[in-house]
Structure 1
Amino acid sequence: MRYKKKRLLRSALVAATAFIGISSAQAAAGLQHVTANSSVTYAKTKYPIVFTHGMFGFTRIGFDSFGMDYFYQILPDLARNGANTFAAQVSPLESTEVRGEQLLVQVEDVLAITGQPKVNLIGHSHGGPTTRYIAAVKPQYVASVTGVAGTYRGSLVADKIQANKGINSIFGILGDKLLAPIITWAEGNSSLPNSVDASLTAISEKGSAAFNAKFPTTAMANDCNKAGAKVDNGVYYYSWTGTAQATNVLDVLDSIITQLGPLAYANKDNDGLVGRCSTHIGQVIRDDYNHNHLDEVNMVFGLRSIFSPDPVALYRQHANRLKLQGL
């Protein structure tokens, strides 16, 4: 059953910043809308862009004046360059289909707010399959799907956690009883359901295979080393990822988390959590950026290797790519 909205569309809570007039507002049921007074059109896509976070994700923790976005500094930068940007709030821990139904409600909100018939969806990590769910059940709403380190074929890290009863129990307690409730409370939406088991199953290799069998797409080739279709059922597909782990000694959280991938895969052909091949869908823009799983969304607070490309610039360039494609 479609996830039901808990609140009516409400007045924007706007905080203008700097001379370009960045505004961030909560539009509906956790949907964050970021706009800017700017004449720049470099990233001005035909259709609005909707971002979707991954596991343990959020839109914003804190306030406009002091807080941290999951896609850190990315939406304001796109807005300054002409894009109409939104960030969706879905359960930090849930199945792809539950998260997908939550996202579908917010996509319909965006369509109503903007008057546009379609959106460009960008999902990080579990946000990748979550956005693909919309393309599967409501392709008429979707101009494009872009996966950034999307868990399209799953993460072996999830399989390893589920296979270890002790670690799985600890992970369940921390996720279900502590971290997820704190995240949803901090975002002002404590009613969002959460399930570590459903989340891990969804992003596991086995669970991902089941999802892909239920919702097949030619954008994913049978062999992840081969190219999938760039366009399927009228929807354009793009993807990119990194293959780095610890990238900045100051980012302690990031450095700890991104050791899970090498331990699970017994190699470094991953971004610390998701294998490179798993992220391939549609047109693979690049699959070896010097980014780890959190660098890909410019977390934490933009700490990354000084030798890596600016994640914010990658999203700006991609918005221009969508614009030039007529999306």
Structure 2
Amino acid sequence: MLAERTTRYPLVLVPGLLGFIRLLGYPYWYGIESKLRSLGFQVYPVRVSPLHASEVRGEQLLERIQALLLETGADKVNLIGHSQGALTARYAAAKRPEWIASVTSVSGPNHGSELADYCQRQAPVGTWRERLFAWAMRSTARWIGWLESGAIGPTLPLDARACGESLSTAGVALFNHRYPQGLPEVWGGEGAEEVAGVRYYSWSGTLQPGLTNRGGNLFDGPNLACRLFAQTFTREIGQCDGMVGRFSSHLGKVIGDQYPLDHFDSINQTFGLVGKGADPVGLFIEHGRRLAEAGL
């Protein structure tokens, strides 16, 4: 049997909102990290603040990348970011492109999330609803920090308001003005595949009756949540994964935007309970080979 062709540079996995490496041993990248490692890829899931602005998380990511470059002896890394992790990775690539071989957005809100917009409308700044919502988010993030077993280090800062603003359509528009690398020039199009020596890719899914509400998702609570969240969408109604719209996810070379995946299926959550016919782990393996073929 021929050995798997692996990437030249390590794969760095960047989590999204309320993300982690492992909680009491349970991985965020369920079955993905382990499978890629079994095929010979160098894979490093990283820890950033579970609740903060994308720029703040990006600075934390840059510190981790610098340490990884020293640790591994690599010249660059391939960043793969899920959800807000895509914005975090984009920031790092914009600031230090010489450290980054590629950025891959997996279900990333590259033009903002309509769900974040809805939350802002329902809990305006300064109201008791916003204070309650922020308290709930901070409490969840603190529990994640306490239960995190995948990394050691200082307690990371939390800011629910900054996080919400960073994920809203208006907040991401400001972010995109500062860091436009890889963005499409037209809504629903593709962006430049290479900017400043960094390759840009993206993929995402949509809720599809008969597929994403079948299979393992019949028993998966987060899938029900995504179907409820999808009701808050207006611009991309019927064309979202429950948290991010199909076209909003576009960045660089669009590998696909209509896989039968809800937002959590994209990272094989929960416990690999995904929709009928979905293969999120396979998408990551295929992409690892794609990066290897590109010499990355």
Cα distance, 1:202 vs. partner?
0.5
Secondary structure of the 1:211 match is: helix
Cα distance, 1:162 vs. partner?
1.2
TM-score of the aligned structures, taking structure 2 as reference length: 0.91
Q: What residue in structure 2 maps to residue 306 of structure 1?
A: 276
Answer whether contact 1:261 1:271 (CA < 8 A) is retained.
Answer: yes
Of 205, 215, 230, 1:261 maps to 230
Q: Kindly, what percent of the aligned residue pairs are identical?
A: 39
Q: What residue in structure 2 maps to residue 222 of structure 1?
A: 185
- Which of 1 and 2 has higher RCO (CA within 8 Å, sep 6+)? 2
Of 195, 201, 204, 2:159 maps to 195
Higher helix share: 2
Q: What residue in structure 1 maps to residue 71 of structure 2?
A: 113
Stretches of structure 1 that go unaligned for 5 or more consecutive residues are 1-38
Secondary structure of the 2:109 match is: coil
Cα distance, 1:196 vs. partner?
1.1
Q: What residue in structure 2 maps to residue 232 of structure 1?
A: 195
Secondary structure of the 1:223 match is: coil
Of 59, 74, 83, 2:32 maps to 74
**Relative to 1, partners in 2 of residues 1:145 and 1:167: Cα closer, same or farther, differing over 3 Å?**
same
Answer whether contact 1:254 1:300 (CA < 8 A) is retained.
Answer: no
Answer whether contact 2:114 2:232 (CA < 8 A) is retained.
Answer: no
Q: What residue in structure 1 maps to residue 106 of structure 2?
A: 148
How well do the aligned residues superpose, as a CA RMSD in angstroms? 1.7
Q: Which amino acid aligns with 1:284?
A: V
Secondary structure of the 1:259 match is: helix
Answer whether contact 2:229 2:243 (CA < 8 A) is retained.
Answer: yes
**Relative to 1, partners in 2 of residues 1:321 and 1:94: Cα closer, same or farther, differing over 3 Å?**
same
**Relative to 1, partners in 2 of residues 1:82 and 1:253: Cα closer, same or farther, differing over 3 Å?**
same
**Relative to 1, partners in 2 of residues 1:40 and 1:203: Cα closer, same or farther, differing over 3 Å?**
farther
Equivalenced residue count is: 282
Answer whether contact 1:262 1:270 (CA < 8 A) is retained.
Answer: no
Cα distance, 1:189 vs. partner?
5.3
Q: Output the CA distance in 1 between the equivalents of 2:102 and 2:227.
A: 29
Runs of 4+ residues over 4 Å off in structure 1: none
Cα distance, 1:222 vs. partner?
2.4
Answer whether contact 1:147 1:240 (CA < 8 A) is retained.
Answer: yes
Q: What residue in structure 1 maps to residue 263 of structure 2?
A: 293
Of 147, 156, 159, 1:186 maps to 147
Cα distance, 1:169 vs. partner?
3.4
2:33 pairs with 1:91? no
Answer whether contact 2:206 2:258 (CA < 8 A) is retained.
Answer: yes
Which deviations, in whole Å up to 9, do the C-alpha atoms of 1:115-134 show, x marking residues without a partner? 01100000000000100011
Q: Output the CA distance in 2 between the equivalents of 1:144 and 1:119.
A: 7
Answer whether contact 1:161 1:167 (CA < 8 A) is retained.
Answer: no
Q: Output the CA distance in 2 between the equivalents of 1:43 and 1:149.
A: 26
**Relative to 1, partners in 2 of residues 1:170 and 1:265: Cα closer, same or farther, differing over 3 Å?**
farther
Secondary structure of the 1:72 match is: coil
